[in-house]
């Protein structure tokens, strides 16, 4: 038996007046997810345990079979692992966004989805100007970068994700609490450095959002994981364009597969991700495929883009995987789900349960749910489950088949 987990990041949403009271999933044309729902089992998954923030780190940790109450230590350390940045015992890793400040307000958490090439030049300048032996800046992908601070600096600071406060005044949302003074100083000192940088001067001339400040959040220490093989006795791989997801895979001892053209945005190589996933199963037991695009559209508050991202996910990822699984000589079990909702009206994540389906190429039990969406799945026979239990559920069902 082979196992496939397909994650449409942030697909779940609230009902919207402009859609006649429907959610984006209900409005979107998703024939492949609907087919698998009609011919499989449905339910709702709680991926964010009570008391933890509804971040993609917590939610995807659950989806990958790890209980966040046991394993979660912060987002940035996972990204550090993906970037090959070692963390010593007292090192604290912070996500360092390049953001856009406009008239004192946080206008864009991604600086207009700045290119990785532009961002690298900016972050190398920041490291030269602000980095020390105890404060090291590392360039990542697009707007997503890292600060590693030594000697527990800032570990207990209260840091706000910038995508949670778009439109808010910068000074109202600066880091607070123990160790925050250094973080605030770095943010403030970054602004004149970035504002006068040639990269931003060029972006402004081209009508693009400047990356005119850095912003810290998601800090934590290196976590301690058991490998996926130790937990479940399976070998596997992870496919994602996002460092966070790759970092989860690295700590889980899974192989990381890079797909050409995978961007973590609306222009990602959907079909390539699906094709590489199916090829990976020739040598492994399970593959996790993560697609960021619906989440990015949700953070942008862009309904049209989110509809398109979900339909592309259904057609190009789910559809490609479904066709290949049906043709494969070996039986497959497939899970499809979001990690968390990213409602258009909020432009950030919530902890609400998300719809999920389990589809098998074997003759198997089927329930009465007809469509993949937030409301229909409430009637699914799987009920409401902890997301971190789904992997074991798959293995158990395979044994019963």
pLDDT at 320: 98
- Percent of the chain past pLDDT 90, that is, above it, reads 95
pLDDT at 363: 72
Mean pLDDT of the chain: 96
Domains of the chain by start residue, with CATH:
2-72+224-400 (3.40.720.10), 87-220 (no CATH)
Tell me what the mean pLDDT of segment 194-208 comes to: 97
- The three-state (H, E, C) secondary structure of the chain, written as one string: CEEEEEEECCCCCCCEHHHCCECHHHHCCCHHHHHHHHCCEEEEEECCCCCCCCCHHHHHHHHCCCCHHHHCCCCHHHHHHHCCCCCCCCCEEEEEEEEEEECCEEEECCCCCCCHHHHHHHHHHHHHHHCCCCEEEEEEECCEEEEEECCCCCCCCECCCHHHCCCCEHHHHCCECCCHHHHHHHHHHHHHHHHCCHHHHHHHHCCCCCCCEEEEEEEECCCCCCCHHHHHCCCEEEECCCHHHHHHHHHCCCEEECCCCCCCCCCCCHHHHHHHHHHHCCCCCEEEEEECHHHHHHHHCCHHHHHHHHHHHHHHHHHHHHHHHHHCCCCEEEEEECCCCCCCCCCCCCCCCEEEEEEECCCCCCCCCCCCCCCHHHHCCCCEEEHHHHHHHHHHHHHHC
328-383 pLDDT, tens digit each: 889 999 999 999 999 999 999 999 999 999 999 987 789 999 999 999 999 999 99
Question: Of the ranges 71-75, 221-225, 315-319, 360-364, which one carries the lowest mean pLDDT score?
Answer: 360-364
160-189 pLDDT, tens digit each: 999 999 999 999 999 999 999 999 999 999
Tell me what the mean pLDDT of segment 232-251 comes to: 96
Tell me what the mean pLDDT of segment 142-149 comes to: 96
pTM of the model: 0.87
């Amino acid at each position: 038996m082979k196992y496939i987990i397909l994650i449409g990041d942030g697909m779940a949403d609230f009902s919207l007046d402009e859609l006649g009271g429907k959610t984006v999933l209900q409005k979107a044309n998703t024939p492949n997810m609907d087919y698998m729902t009609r011919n499989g089992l449905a339910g709702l998954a709680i991926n964010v345990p009570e008391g933890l923030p509804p971040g993609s780190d917590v939610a995807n940790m659950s989806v990958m079979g790890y209980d966040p109450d046991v394993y979660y230590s912060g987002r940035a350390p996972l990204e550090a692992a993906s970037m090959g940045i070692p963390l010593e015992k007292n090192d604290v890793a912070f996500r360092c966004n390049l953001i856009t400040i406009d008239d004192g307000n946080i206008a864009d958490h991604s600086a207009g989805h700045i290119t990785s090439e532009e961002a690298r030049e900016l972050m190398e300048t920041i490291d030269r100007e602000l980095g020390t032996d105890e404060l090291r800046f590392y360039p990542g992908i697009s707007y997503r970068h890292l600060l590693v601070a030594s000697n527990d600096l800032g570990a207990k600071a209260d840091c706000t994700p910038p995508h949670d406060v778009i439109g808010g005044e910068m000074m109202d949302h600066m880091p607070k609490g123990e160790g925050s003074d250094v973080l605030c100083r770095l943010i403030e000192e970054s602004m004149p450095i970035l504002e006068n940088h040639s990269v931003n001067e060029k972006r402004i001339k081209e009508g693009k959002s400047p990356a005119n400040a850095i912003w810290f959040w998601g800090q934590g220490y290196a976590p301690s994981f058991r490998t996926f093989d130790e937990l479940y006795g399976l070998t596997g791989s992870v496919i994602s364009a996002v460092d966070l997801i790759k970092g989860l895979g690295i700590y889980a001892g899974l192989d990381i597969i890079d797909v050409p053209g995978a961007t973590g945005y609306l222009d990602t190589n959907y079909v390539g991700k699906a094709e590489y996933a199916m090829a990976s199963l020739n040598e492994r037991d399970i593959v996790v495929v993560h697609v960021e695009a619906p989440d990015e559209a949700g953070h942008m508050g862009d309904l049209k883009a989110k509809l398109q991202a979900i339909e592309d996910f259904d057609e190009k990822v789910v559809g490609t995987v479904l066709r290949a699984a049906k043709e494969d000589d070996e039986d497959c079990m497939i899970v499809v789900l979001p990690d968390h909702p990213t409602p258009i009206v909020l432009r950030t994540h919530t902890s609400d349960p998300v719809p999920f389906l389990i589809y098998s190429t074997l003759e198997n039990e089927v329930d009465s749910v007809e469509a993949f969406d937030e409301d229909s799945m409430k009637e699914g026979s799987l009920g409401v489950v902890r997301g971190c239990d789904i992997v074991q559920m798959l293995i158990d069902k395979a044994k019963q088949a």
